[in-house]
Amino acid sequence: MGRVEGKVAFITGAARGQGRSHAIRLAEEGADIIAIDLCGPVRNVLYPAATPDDLAETVKLVEALDRRIIATQVDTRDRDALKAAIDGGVAELGKLDIVVANAGICIINGWDQITPEVWQDTLDINLTGTWNTVQLAAPHLVANGGGSIIMTSSAAGLKGLPFLAPYVASKFGVNGLGKAMAHELAEYNIRVNTLHPTGVETAMGDPAATSVFGPLLEAHPKLGGMLTNSLPIETTQPVDQSNAVLFLASDESRYVTALSMTVDAGNTQY
């Protein structure tokens, strides 16, 4: 028996990176998957966008594990399309046990160079998209008699990392949303926790995007230490975060809720 055998998980941002890794890790342990991803560009984001082919590859990898998967190209900002994808997936797979609100973007720049468009897109995708995901999926967990919700925040959701003001604001918001929802949904036996990674080796860390840090740190060298991990690594692997998601999704964490779980190599610990 796998650690989430017979469960159904809904995962956003599942075309690649952490989302794909979460889908594979949960499938390895027995879960069926409902997967969505925008599969397209967002303005001002410098790293390459996920594609429909990426989402199709996630499908192949999950099916190779002999698990069922339903995948749809959906933007978490589009509530109607998001609700249709969730409801349709649950209708086909029979229930919902696990929600992993993982979709997000990151745009690096100094506080005085952030445009209203960058601010709004970051908040809309990272925070409002997470809210949409949780609010629309939670009724299925209630109907199922309980479940687990995991929201991807960040080390930047616990610590004011520099040159990431919209991202920090959105990820602090996710952390707060997780706390509020954990208490409101507890009576339905639904656990809600947030995950706080340090850097992860995904497309978000593409040199085209992260090279912006160089000139900013040269101009503001005192801030560089805030980005340093305590353990001697630059980034984690997606599976390092997926193992935490698996724990929070499984019955091993049945009494764990309202937790801000760090997999951050000590980045946020003082």
Place of tokens 């998209």: 129
Tokens 């429909």 correspond to 52
- Token couple for 64: 């190779």
Outline where the chain has alpha helix (H). 17-28, 52-63, 79-93, 116-123, 129-143, 165-185, 207-210, 213-219, 238-249
Report the distance separating Cα 209 and Cα 207, nearest Å: 5
Q: For the chain, give the longest Cα–Cα distance.
A: 55
Please state, as a whole number, how many other Cβ atoms lie within 10 Å of the Cβ of residue 49.
16
| Cβ neighbours of 107 (radius 10 Å) | 24
| Selected catalytic residue, list 167, 188, 255, 270 | 167
Q: What is the 3-state secondary structure of 19-64?
A: HHHHHHHHHHCCCEEEEEECCCCCCCCCCCCCCHHHHHHHHHHHHC
Report yes or no: 34 and 117 within 8 Å, Cβ to Cβ: no
Helix axes 238-249, 17-28, angle to 10 degrees: 50
CA distances from residue 28 to 117, 244, 251, 270 in whole angstroms, order as listed: 39, 14, 16, 35
* 167 flagged as catalytic: yes
3 contacts: CB under 8 Å, gap ≥ 6: 29, 30, 246, 250, 251, 252
* Residues annotated as catalytic (active site), given as ranges: 167
